[in-house]
Structure 1
Amino acid sequence: MVAPFEVSFVQRALWAGVLVSLVCALAGTWVVLRGMAFLGDAMSHGMLPGVALASLLGGNPLLGAAASAGLMAAGVSALGRVRGISRDTTIGLLFVGMLSTGVIIVSHSRSFAVDLTGFLFGDVLAVRVTDLVLLAVALAVAGLVSVLGHRSFVALVFDERKAHTLGLRPRLANALLLGLLTLAIVVSFHVVGTLLVFGLLIAPPAAAVLWARRIPSVMAGAAVLGSLATTVGLLVSWHWGTAAGATIAATSVALFFGSVLAAHLHRRVRARPRPAVPDVEREVERAQ
């Protein structure tokens, strides 16, 4: 069963998946708690213009993705202050605008199918050592931002007005949170692709939040579940011949539904009334 991990490129894929899981656990916890899944989806697709333009000009797709996602985050932050327009409306319009722009750019590329496939589904088995170094740096940055902004993030998630009253600068905290989400999406799309990144960004924190009561515990549980999904996904992909990135994401989603079922059964068992103790046994207990 573990023979695939003796192969060097599978080992790199495993390390990459674990590092991505850790980064996504830090960012995805706040995404789940604040209900930002649609924003994350829009930002992941908003990277397409940058990736397509970088590929067309022969540049680094990762830098193009970062620039495009940063522009998307800035647009969401700026348009969110416009009165009379809901946040979902601005996100949806930016989503469609960026995605259509990316498709227009990609349509001028001769390698249209290859570039689009790699963008959507990633290639976890093609991870290089330099990619692992980049993921490790991204994890360090995400950890630093999470530690320094923890108090502000908590106040922003649960009561934005109170955060302003306490002087925690919710606008700055929101910008940092968008930056953390952007970082997680940009470093993850090369591994599992934009369509599948939410398998690691959303599913593990959503599964962990059903059991944990503290935010650090949710992050730790999400990191464990994401790493488990990576390991199991790579094994299934190797033995069944399926796409590695898609299998990792599908495993992550399966773990979420398993967690939902287990939590439901746990609540039913706890809510079940206990059988009445016979009078004789009660008397014995009192005597003791």
Structure 2
Amino acid sequence: MEALFAPFEVVFVQRALWGGVLVSLICALAGTWVVLRGMAFLGDAMSHGMLPGVALASLLGGNLFVGAAAAAAGMALGVTALNRSPRLSQDTSIGLLFVGMLSAGVIIVSHSGSFAVDLTGFLFGDVLAVREQDLVLLALALLVALPVAVLGHRSFTALAFDPRKATTLGLAPRAAHAAMLGLITLAVVASFHVVGTLLVFGLLIAPPAAAALWARSIPAIMAGAAVLGCTATFVGLLVSWHWGTAAGASISATAVALFFCSAALSRLRPGGGPTPPDDDPPAPLHTDERSNAS
């Protein structure tokens, strides 16, 4: 038992654990919709799209979190604007912005004298360097993400399973899509400092995907994803402590390993394969409700 809990007697490992738990909760709320809507490529592009903002903030001596948030917001606005063009598919729009933002970020970072250090920190993060103020920011991000997920649940559900029905029901699909993008952006920006942009998907996608194989409702997927994400954080930090591996990578690798274990176990149950969520579709709105939703 001492081997399980001894590492968490160290203050910086305690902060890393709390940081990972907060990130797991945020990613559970946003990652569930990423998985259900098949938006993994968008999340990947969003994380890399932060590079120009982070690089510019680093060169100017500004706050990296603010720089990342500004760049990610710009990326989200760009995706929203390009999606309005009927001649461009969503993947094409995302791919163009992905390459453009990543190239701009590398160009900016290349003017820094600490190119390798800055880029490594951006890509892989440093969960063991989480400070108290970082925990405060993560807690605030969770306080913002939670009401967005709760208030937008009905619209997000309709948008995920039948966007045309969302329009018919007067659920303002464009506004719902923008809110969902904002939720994903918040999760990515809040998480990159802890596990880095390349590894953030270990917590953003793997836990919800693993929970989706068993859960029969969207809230259950979110709850399962939160539990699995927190478990991956705890186990990943233990692996990092005892084996001397990179903490962020250990957390993400554990999350992915939990997904494959979940997928393998789901094949053993009767009927094998994933259990689709059975959330009831949103009920039609009355006239007054429809005007309020718009």
Q: Which interval holds the TM-score relative to the shorter structure? A: over 0.9
Amino acid of the structure 1 residue aligned with 2:116: A
Q: Structure 2 CA distance, aligned partners of 1:178 and 1:124?
A: 25
Decide which of 39, 47, 56 is 2:50's aligned counterpart. 47
Q: Structure 2 CA distance, aligned partners of 1:239 and 1:184?
A: 29
1:241-268 deviations in Å (ceiling 9; x for gaps):
0000000000000000000000011136
Amino acid of the structure 2 residue aligned with 1:115: D
Q: Structure 2 CA distance, aligned partners of 1:269 and 1:229?
A: 25
Per the normalisation by structure 1, the TM-score is 0.93
Q: Structure 1 CA distance, aligned partners of 2:271 and 2:214?
A: 15
Amino acid of the structure 2 residue aligned with 1:111: S
Q: Structure 1 CA distance, aligned partners of 2:123 and 2:243?
A: 21
| Mapped contact 2:51–2:105 kept (Cα < 8 A) | yes
Report the equivalent of 1:285. none
Q: Structure 1 CA distance, aligned partners of 2:86 and 2:23?
A: 37
**Structure 1 runs of 4+ with >6 Å offset:** none
| RMSD of equivalent CA atoms | 1.0
Pair member with larger Rg: 1
SS of the residue 2:197 aligns to:
coil
Report the equivalent of 2:216. 213
Report the equivalent of 2:248. 245
Report the equivalent of 1:278. none
What is the Cα deviation at residue 269 of structure 1? 7.8
Q: Structure 2 CA distance, aligned partners of 1:135 and 1:85?
A: 35
Residue ranges of structure 1 left out of the alignment (5+ in a row): 271-288
Q: Structure 1 CA distance, aligned partners of 2:173 and 2:271?
A: 39
Report the equivalent of 1:152. 155
Report the equivalent of 2:167. 164
What is the Cα deviation at residue 64 of structure 1? 0.4
1:113-153 deviations in Å (ceiling 9; x for gaps):
11101000000000011111110110010001001111000
Q: Structure 1 CA distance, aligned partners of 2:199 and 2:270?
A: 31
Q: Structure 2 CA distance, aligned partners of 1:207 and 1:268?
A: 17
Q: Structure 2 CA distance, aligned partners of 1:184 and 1:111?
A: 27
Decide which of 103, 106, 123 is 1:103's aligned counterpart. 106
Q: Structure 2 CA distance, aligned partners of 1:15 and 1:269?
A: 35
Decide which of 186, 191, 201 is 1:188's aligned counterpart. 191
Residue ranges of structure 2 left out of the alignment (5+ in a row): 274-294
| Mapped contact 2:266–2:272 kept (Cα < 8 A) | no
What is the Cα deviation at residue 85 of structure 1? 1.1
Verify: 1:199 aligned to 2:202, yes or no. Answer: yes
Write out aligned runs for 1:254-269 (5 A).
254-267=257-270
Verify: 1:139 aligned to 2:142, yes or no. Answer: yes
Report the equivalent of 2:282. none
Q: Structure 2 CA distance, aligned partners of 1:84 and 1:176?
A: 24
Percent identity over the alignment is 77
Amino acid of the structure 1 residue aligned with 2:46: M
What is the Cα deviation at residue 21 of structure 1? 0.1
